[in-house]
Amino acid sequence: MILYNKKSREQLIKELEEEPFMRITFSFYRYVYLDHPQEFRDQLFVEWSALQCKGRIYLAHEGINAQISVPEQNLEAFLQGLQNHTELANMPIKYAVEDDGKSFFKLTLKVRPKIVADGLNDHAYDVTNVGLHLEPEEFHEHVAGGKAIVIDMRNHYESEIGRFENAFCPDADTFRQAIDLVVKEFEHKKDEKILLYCTGGIRCEKASAYLKHHGFNDVNQLHGGIIAYAHDIKQKGLHSKFVGKNFVFDQRLGETIDGQVIAHCHQCGALCDTHTNCANDDCHLLFIQCPNCKVEYNGCCSNDCKEIIALPIEEQRKLRVLRHEKYAASKIFKSRLRPHLMKALNEQTHPI
C-alpha cells in the first residue's frame, strides 16, 4: 500500500484545477500524547487519502497540528472519522476566513519531534501551565480597552501584513527569537495584563506557559487565534481590532480580515500585502511583491535571480552550488533584504 504521494507537482496542480467540486479549508491542533505517531500517521494517510483530502499535517509524540482541505461532499465523513479516534474526538475546527478551495494540492503527513518547531526545551518548564483562554469577544474587549499589553506571537513576515491595533510585534524570524524578545521587552511589566495571539492558537500554548515560567502573572491568550476572532466578530457585527491580512501557511499565503492593506512591496515600496516565493527555485525567497514589480523582475526577488532564470538550465545548475553556499543560512526575506531597502520601508511604514 502506498503511504505517500508519487505524482509530480505539475500533475497534482492540474488535477486540483480540474476538480468539479468545491473544497473546504480548515485547521486544527491538539496537544495529546501519541504512543506511536508513525503508525498513527500511516493510518490517517490511508483514511484521508480515501476522502481525497489535501493538506499539511504534522504529528509528534506531543500531538497533531493540521491544515487541510476536504471535498465539500466528504466533510461530514471526515469529521465523523475524527470522532472514531480517541485522540481526535471533539476536535475544535477552525474554518478558513477566505477559501477558494485551492489551498493545498497534495496530502502531506509528517512525523516530527514537535508539532511546532519552537526551539524550546520542554523539560525546562511546565508546558501544561498555560495562560487563561479568552474567547474572541473577550479578547476584543480587552484590546479595545487599551490597558492590556497585546503581543503578536508570530514571526515578523506574518505580522508585517496584519496585526492587532497597538500590538507589540517581535522583530524575529523564529518562535524562539520572538519569545525571548518578549521576555526581555516586558521584564519590568510582569504584573500587567498580557494578551497573546497567533494564527490559530497553537503557538500561544507554549508562549503563555513560557511567560508564566518567567514570572508573568496575568497571561491571557486568544482562544482559536486570529482565525476564530475573524469569524466571531463578523458574526457579531463588531469592528475588527485586527488590521490587514492574516498570514496562512498554504498556497494562499494570506486571507484578508478587514480589507485594509498595511504592508509594502519589498522592491518599490508601494502598498501591497501579497507574499510570493522568488521564481528562481534555487532561491525561493519569501517576500512581498506588487504586480508591477512581478512583471519588472519576472517574479524574482532581485535582478541577480532574474538573470539566473533567464540562463540555460545547464548554466543554472553550475551556479546552484555557489548560490547555496552563499545563502545557506536563511530563506526568510528579511535576512536577505539590502539594509538601505529595509531602512526605506521602515520610514514609509507607520506602526498600528
Using one digit for the tens of pLDDT, what is the confidence trace for 251-282? Answer: 778 889 988 999 999 999 999 999 999 999 88
- Indicate if 301 belongs to the active site: no
Instruction: Report the alpha-carbon distance of residue 86 to residue 296 in Å, rounded.
Output: 53
Between the CA atoms of 185, 188, 190 and 193, what dihedral angle is there, to the nearest 10 degrees?
A: -70
Name the residue with higher pLDDT: 347 or 265.
265
Using one digit for the tens of pLDDT, what is the confidence trace for 188-231? Answer: 999 999 999 999 999 999 999 999 999 999 999 999 999 999 99
**Looking at residues 95-118, what average pLDDT do you find?**
90
Say what the pLDDT of residue 326 is. Answer: 55
Using one digit for the tens of pLDDT, what is the confidence trace for 290-328? Answer: 999 999 999 999 998 899 899 888 888 777 766 555 554
Say what the pLDDT of residue 2 is. Answer: 66
CB atoms within 10 A of CB 38: 10
> DSSP letters of 233-275?
HHHHTPPPSEEEEE--SSTT--EESSS----B-TTT--B---E
Q: List, in order of start, the domains of the chain with CATH numbers.
A: 17-111 (3.30.70.100), 126-241 (3.40.250.10), 275-348 (no CATH)
Give the pairing of strands 218-222 and 132-134: parallel
Out of 169, 198, 283, 293, the active site residue is 198
Say what the pLDDT of residue 325 is. Answer: 56
Mean pLDDT over the full length of the chain: 88
Say what the pLDDT of residue 323 is. Answer: 59
Cell of 145: 480597552
Instruction: Report the alpha-carbon distance of residue 348 to residue 26 in Å, rounded.
Output: 35
Q: How much of the chain exceeds pLDDT 70, in percent? A: 90
